[in-house]
Amino acid sequence: MPGTPEAKTVFLRAPQFAVVGASKDQTKYGTKVLQWYLARDKTVTPVHPKEDELEGVKAVRALADLPDPSHTSVSIITNPKITLGLLEQAKALDIPSVWLQPGAEDETVIQFIKENGLEDRAIYGGPCVLVEGDGILKSVL
């Protein structure tokens, strides 16, 4: 079952976070997710192929550029074609957990998750961290 309470707890217990899909546009969900982490004093890195910083935080170009990918939970707010490539990278980098925001997945993405044994590391098909995050954080404190 994608997005079990346990999976979401594991995701939010990570020491570091990354957001793929944030931009200079503050009305977009990717940027709102980045702001959510910042407002809660989380260590978060935006991942963007062209921007050097977003919301005053230094950005990296790719997941492979994260300081410590194997201890970083990644929020993905991208279209499914981009999401698929990100999941391939996440698997190769041993990223512990990804949370696909609504709209970031399609049948191909879900099939990739299932075929590659990522079901225990991928949250998808449900509410986003903006909706559920605070309740989960309270439960893990």
Per-residue pLDDT reduced to its tens digit, 37-59? 999 999 999 999 999 999 999 99
Q: What are the structural domains, with CATH classification, of the chain?
A: 5-136 (3.40.50.720)
Q: How far out from the chain centre does Cα 26 lie?
A: 18
Banded pLDDT at 141 (limits 50, 70, 90): low
Q: Given a cut of 90, is residue 138 above it in pLDDT?
A: no
Other CB atoms within 10 Å distance of the CB of residue 55: 16
Q: Is the Cα torsion angle 112, 47, 135, 12 positive or negative in sign?
A: positive
Q: Is the Cα torsion angle 127, 130, 132, 137 positive or negative in sign?
A: positive
What is the pTM for the complete model shown? 0.95
